[in-house]
Chain A
Amino acid sequence: MAEEDSRRYRYIHYVVDHCLANWVVTDPNRVSPEKRHRNYQAATETPYVYLCGGRSFLVKKNPYGLAIGLTLITAGILYWVFEAPWAWHHQSPAVVIIFSYLWVLTLCFLVKASTSDPGLQPKNIHLPFDSTKLLLESGPDEYFDTISLPYYSNRTVGASVKYCATCHIWRTPRMSHCLVCNVCVQNHDHHCVYINNCVGAGNYRFFLWFLLTTVITCFYLGTFMFLRCSRYRRMEGYESFADFVKHSPVSLLLGLLSCVGVIYPLLLLLFHTYLTANNITTREYLNNARGNPDYVNVFDTHSILKNLAINWLASPYKNKVYHPRDTIREDLSTMILPPLSSFKISRFATNN
């Protein structure tokens, strides 16, 4: 019997450790080389852990997004356990239903923004020469210039392209390299530590709607919590605020949580509303536009409504080129190559 139990537990441990654990959360650095069959199992150069067999991913460094998610879930549970029954009977069922809808919406947009492909780009497909020479030779000078090309609506300022020496690709306009994720991202806005992901062409819409729903949910919850603490407490027979708080501390707690939780998302929402109204990314604004009256944003359609619609309502980025679940290809795109060095860097390195 003891032997049977031991075998059964060994089997359970095997299923949990090798099947469930590796499928639910996969860290490519912990996958043995002989088991790397798909792209996500071999993606050791990225800071991602992959979820549900590579179907989505999270940045594993500084997982503040998990803390945000846990805070959201905790607030929701507290409301439904302590506040929802009272609100259902003494205010209106609609109050609880609307909060529940807003809460679910906020959580879903957080999950979508955190786990969606922001617009990851392939690597190593624009090498100027054979990869074996990367450590021996410097790159061509032309690959370290910023190139301005004519743009459809502006042929004098144009659109700029630049070579990424780390990813070995010529970046399209608005594409940038994220130092945290070590990858180039289409329409890279910024790397957001609160959603643990880059914000780019693939998930900017979800990020914006997450900010909006967070602000609305916080305002909604805070309003009804403070109404309960002030106006409705008398209905329950509590003239003193202190006595009511002793009776129902969760109401005040949720009210204060809403006040604190709304500040940063509201500021971000206002900032991104300004950015989207001008169809400019955070990166472009901070690096080029801020304090520079001569900056020309060629991507501005000169219509606030159209700019807002492009960012808030347009379809998500379709040209996803990174497919984590695809079978690994034995080509340069899966290799980790040294960055392309310039003549100055090479000469400095040689002299030292």
Chain B
Amino acid sequence: MTSSQDLVYFNYHEYVVPGQSFRKNNFTGPDKDDDLPLNLVVNHFPNPYVSQDDPVYHRTRIVRIPRAYDVMDGSEAIPQFSTYTPGNEPAALSGPETSGYGIHEGYVYGTTSKTQLVPQWVSDAEFREIVTHVNALIAEENRSLTWTSALVSFADVLTVTLLSTIGSQLLKKGSRMGQRLDAYTNNVNLGFEARHPDLKMILLSRTGFLLLDFQIPLTREIKKQPLDKTPLMSSR
């Protein structure tokens, strides 16, 4: 039970823009009521992990799962990600499942915080399992204050810092935290590839552990067709 003064979590990457409305409730094309303005929730973003000349940049978007700081003690130092399904955060912008879609700068967005990642590409349970497993791997590797670390610090003083200098060079691969994390990410991406070649989880070393990013195939703007049953999601 939360008190009225407790802060609530939300995805702070998303923002609201006015957009041109599209057909509400029935994806059959525009009609005269579609000039009504909509408040669209921008919840997928440009792909910064590829070159802008790369075709992948133009056919994919990024769904961002931000850091959460109430998962465990020391979450500001030990990266932990939100286990809420995108769109289900306590302070997420919500609405009916069939609330409007609109177009903003050539991309299709909805009026809620729900993204195309879940459940279109990844199920709710699978998403939670991935994030929970990633959080556990990171927590395990990042426990900074242990008896071992204290002994190493004292040993560093005794060895005039040679221990930390030489040790970090010898363990160079291990010091880039997350060989197991990268292996898990690559394993997840093998499964994603079967669903769509552009669907992938970005390596945390690329995101700087600031986000857990998912690359999803792009939802393109639908060209206006007269009364044809044109599917909204045309990328599959």
Contacts and interface: CB of A to CB of B under 8 A. Distances in A.
A151 B75 contact: yes
A69 to B, nearest CB: 15
User: Which range holds the interface residue count of chain A?
Assistant: 35 or more
Nearest to B67: A172
B165 A155 contact: no
Interface in B1-58: 2-3, 5-9, 12-17, 42, 45-46, 48-54
B52 A319 contact: no
A228 interface: no
A90 B165 CA distance: 37
Contacts of A151: 69-70, 75-76
B49 A108 contact: no
A289 interface: no
Interface string B55-86: 00000000010111111111111010000000
Given A142-B15, A149-B69, A152-B75, A125 B8 contact: no
Interface string A299-325: 100000010011011111111110100
Contacts of A310: 144-145
Interface residues of B, number: 64
A104 B163 CA distance: 14
B126 interface: no
Contacts of A309: 145, 150
A130 B141 CA distance: 35
A229 interface: no
Contacts of A321: 205, 208-209
B232 interface: no
A327 interface: no
B38 to A, nearest CB: 16
Interface string B105-131: 100000000000000000000000000
B59 to A, nearest CB: 14
B146 to A, nearest CB: 8
Interface string A143-174: 10001111111011011010000000110111
B160 A172 contact: no
B176 to A, nearest CB: 7
A313 B153 contact: yes
Given A142-B12, A313-B145, A321-B209, A124 B69 contact: no
Contact of B7 (A129, A155, A299): A155
Contacts of A332: 46, 48-49, 52
Interface string A104-135: 11001100100000000110111111110100
Nearest to B72: A152
Interface of A: 101, 104-105, 108-109, 112, 121-122, 124-131, 133, 140-143, 147-153, 155-156, 158-159, 161, 169-170, 172-174, 187, 201, 205-206, 209, 299, 306, 309-310, 312-321, 323, 330-333
The 10 closest A-B pairs by CB, nearest first: A140-B15, A332-B48, A321-B208, A314-B144, A330-B51, A315-B149, A122-B208, A142-B15, A108-B161, A313-B150
